[in-house]
Structure formats: structure tokens, C-alpha cells
């Protein structure tokens, strides 16, 4: 699974990227994950299976979904604040169905 994380500047989500990578290794899952700023989202079209959006960009979910044409959802604030990699992976899987 290929997960794109999107936040305002692409920096705060880098902590969550590391935690998702750690959780994937721990659980033996093949997951690629990257964080980008909302302003760079257009450069990511066609590269990802799902996009998780930081809570601070909750208002932009529909716009991002239109641009990427993949499942997109805002990460629950607690998951984001606690950098809960396992919960983020679970949410990504839920979005994919």
C-alpha cells in the first residue's frame, strides 16, 4: 500500500511518516509512505493508493480528492497528535475499503 500524507507545510507529518514506517515493519506490511505540503499535491497524481490529510487541512479533503482521484480522508486529531502509526495504517486501509 502506498500512503501519501498531506499537511500544511509537509513537516509536522514527517513524524507520523516515521511512525507509520515503524508500524509497517513491526507488522510485516509492505507500505510506502511520504509526506508533502498541500501546495505540492499536484505533483503526486498517479503515485499513491490513498491520501491521509492532517487535521489542520480537514477543509481541503474534497479538493485533494478531486486532484488525486484516490481515497482521501482527514486523520483523527488524536492519531495525528500522538503520531500513532498503527492507527494511521488502519485508517488508510479503511479508506481503501
51 classed as catalytic: no
- From 3, 4, 6, 7, active-site residue: 7
**Nearest one of 95, 42, 97, 29 to 68, comparing CA atoms:** 42
The strand pairing partners of 37, in sequence order, are 7
Question: Which residues are annotated as catalytic?
Answer: 7
Amino acid at each position: 500500500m502506498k500512503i501519501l500524507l498531506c499537511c500544511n507545510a509537509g513537516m509536522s507529518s514527517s513524524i507520523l511518516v516515521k511512525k507509520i514506517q515503524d508500524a509497517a515493519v513491526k507488522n510485516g506490511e509492505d507500505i510506502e509512505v511520504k509526506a508533502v505540503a498541500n501546495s505540492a499535491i499536484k505533483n503526486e497524481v498517479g503515485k499513491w493508493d490513498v491520501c491521509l490529510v492532517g487535521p489542520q487541512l480537514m477543509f481541503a479533503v474534497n479538493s485533494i480528492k478531486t486532484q488525486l482521484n484516490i481515497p482521501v480522508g482527514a486523520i483523527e486529531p488524536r492519531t495525528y497528535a500522538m503520531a500513532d502509526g498503527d492507527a494511521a495504517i488502519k485508517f488508510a486501509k479503511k479508506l481503501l475499503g
